[in-house]
Amino acid sequence: MSRIGKLPIVLPKGVEISRDTKSNLITVKGPLGELKQYVDEAISYTIEDGHLVLARATEQKRHKALHGLYRSLLANMIKGVSEGFEIRQELVGVGYKAEAKGQQLDLSLGYSHNILFEFPQEIKVETIVEKGKNPIIILKGIDKQLLGQVANKIRSYRKPEPYKGKGIRFVGEIVRKKAGKSAEK
């Protein structure tokens, strides 16, 4: 039994949902933008009292799995077009810098050259640089999947290492440190 799939999704004001019956493409429109998602034909939806409720065609294992999957995807889409998503990353390390230039991010991570990262149009980027604190990169967008993918790509340039904890990490992330070499006696 899919417990997640049974949960109703609250529709905020200003959010509209439509489904193309030929291609099973669901479009969610809201104040921040529009997102589209293909949904399997075994999953249907109804709107009752300002809530979106998903239902599956049969009790097959595959349909149960898809029920929960599409409920989560649609909930993320609805939240994205109404509120948006934000991911914060911090650069920990001496001399690590980040500077946003429009849709580009200029990263100085201790390599011989700076890294220029080009962002998709759907994502907005900001940087906060305060003296005495680690630089922070703020990513904002309506598509949770794309935002997470871009954040992981940025993190892959310098993952936090386990000995000193230097690298790019999410704000609030705890990096487990190793002891390193022990001194011989």
75-96 confidence digits (pLDDT tens): 999 999 999 999 999 999 999 9
Would you state the structure tokens that stand for residue 141, as one six-digit string? Answer: 């967008």
Give me the pLDDT at residue 140, please. 96
- CB 52, CB 45: distance < 8 Å: yes
Give me the pLDDT at residue 23, please. 85
136-150 confidence digits (pLDDT tens): 999 999 999 999 999
**H helix intervals, 83-138:** none
Give me the pLDDT at residue 83, please. 94
Mean per-residue pLDDT, 103-130: 94
Same domain, 93 and 161: yes
Q: How many domains does the chain have?
A: 2
Mean per-residue pLDDT, 37-60: 90
* Residue 184 scores a pLDDT above 80: no
Amino acid at 71: R
How far apart, in whole angstroms, are the C-alpha atoms of residue 68 and residue 56? 10
Sheet containing 33-38: give its strands across.
16-20, 25-30, 33-38
Same domain, 95 and 78: no
Range of the domain at 47: 3-82
CATH (domain of 37): 3.90.930.12
Residues contacting 148, CB < 8 A, separation 6+? 87
